[in-house]
Amino acid sequence: MVRFAASLLVVLLTNVLNRVLIVEYQTPATLVTFIFAFQHLATPSGLIAGYFSDRYYRRGGRRGPFIIGGMVLSASIMPIFPSWGMFFASQPQHPLSFWLGAGLFALFGVGLTVSATAVNALLVDELPETQRGAGMTLVWLLTLAGFIIGSAFFHYLLPGSQIYRLKAIFWLFTILALAIVLGSVKGVEVESATVSPPTERGATVGIVLQGLSRSSQAVLFFVFLAATVFFLAIQTFILTPFGGEVLLLPVGETAKFGIYTSWGAMLGMGSAYWMQKKWPRWRNKLFLVLSLGLGGTACILLAISSWWPDRPKVEAALWLLGLSKGFFNAGISFLTMSLAHPAFSGVFMGLWNLVSGLALAVGETTGGFCLDQAMRFTGDLGAAYGLVFLGEGLGMLGCLIILKLLNRQRYWRQLAPWLGAASTTKPVVSDNAGSGYN
């Protein structure tokens, strides 16, 4: 439920505030997406928090204090965003409005990153290797449920363009998210016999990173993670402005875009979860191949709908994009959890958040930058959006090349000598490892 609560906060920024700034207040998309991306530049905090949560035990558990502390930090920032947005829209070139926004998003990102790292590391601690991918998939399902319910609730509270209600809505969502976090975290962390006591974990962040850097498959995994997240993120902050500027929809209607993609993502993850349970050998590259193929198709369809506006085609593309994200979340969950190990789960998940967060920041910023540049080049909004969506789709399809080179068995063979020397805990590879990423 922690990730559900986090989604209630994120949906207000991703689907609402950015669209209001770009469409209603006519703020340059490059500037808006650049400032919003500062939340992802805070991802090194996850690596640090993961390291300390690996090594130290505090009252409330090893991961619990980081989960609660991170979410409290993010929630405390939320009510400030509407006031900052009005100030920034009135003076977008003023250094104070820029750096104030950058600082707010950076603090918000620190909180989300710390809590997300602790949640993922907790899964590694408490679940056997064969169940971690399914566990992380369920976390993604709750995350998307938060997007769906948050978007629907916002649409109910703000059916049209009554943006004067934003401050009250931000306060309401913040209080609700905090109540969910505090009510769900208590007692969730239990002692596990499979996890070594903190005093036995002698590997420092540098040692773990050095060990991973010596594995070509580990490096390839993080390159694949960065590339796929980058291309999936390009449309994040320009999708709802696209609905306002090309389809001429009000803010309440474009907020529903998040509902379409979230339902599609839940359908994709639910299908992947069911298929993996019914056919365990399907816990392989199939989900990621489906994700990249559907994502590429969705972006190409969005490009066509930009050149020849058609709302039904856009809605179909949003469902396909959601399915793509759902299969991606499931596939990357199984792959990530099959490569993580309790001896360095906090650092590994911190590095995972660092790489994906930086890729998100660059991808989201690239979307706004390319949109502005394409607009200057073409002089037409529809053509500009179409070029950005087309480039995103082709990039997703190109990531299939990197996926082809990944091999899970080779990863563990490369890592085993270092892991044996750095930790008293040996790597665990399930009996069906050969049926996975090979």
Residue 358 tokens read as: 């930086």
Check residue 59 and give its pLDDT.
Answer: 57
Q: Has residue 14 got a pLDDT over 50? A: yes
Angle at 386 between CA 381 and CA 387, to 5 degrees: 105
Check residue 254 and give its pLDDT.
Answer: 79
Paired strand residues for 58: 61
Which of 66, 74, 62, 71 is CA-nearest to residue 49?
A: 66
Which of 289, 294, 437, 299 is CA-nearest to residue 363?
A: 299
114-118, 234-238, 310-314: the lowest-pLDDT one: 114-118
Write the CB contacts of 396 (distance below 8 Å, at least 6 apart in sequence): 228, 231, 232, 292, 295, 296, 299, 324
Site of tokens 């306002």:
244
First CA to last CA distance, the chain: 33
Domains identified in the chain and CATH numbers = 2-189+203-425 (1.20.1250.20)
Q: Mean pLDDT in the chain?
A: 78
More confident residue, 394 or 111: 394
Alpha helices in 127-256 (DSSP H): 129-157, 166-185, 205-213, 216-233, 239-245, 251-254
Secondary structure class of 307 (helix, strand, coil): helix
| Share of residues in the chain with pLDDT > 70 (%) | 77
pLDDT digits (tens, 9 = 90+) for 241-266: 888 888 888 776 777 787 788 788 88
Q: Has residue 345 got a pLDDT over 70? A: no
Check residue 397 and give its pLDDT.
Answer: 94
Paired strand residues for 61: 58
What are the C-alpha distances in Å from 126 to residues 71, 133, 192, 345, 431? 21, 12, 6, 11, 20
* Most confident option among 42-46, 286-290, 391-395: 391-395
Write the CB contacts of 56 (distance below 8 Å, at least 6 apart in sequence): 62, 198
Check residue 383 and give its pLDDT.
Answer: 93
Q: Give the type of residue at 80.
A: I
Check residue 302 and give its pLDDT.
Answer: 94
Torsion angles phi and psi, residue 58, rounded to 5: -125, 165
Section 284-306 average pLDDT: 91
Distance CA 8, CA 82 (A): 15
Check residue 203 and give its pLDDT.
Answer: 55
Check residue 190 and give its pLDDT.
Answer: 56
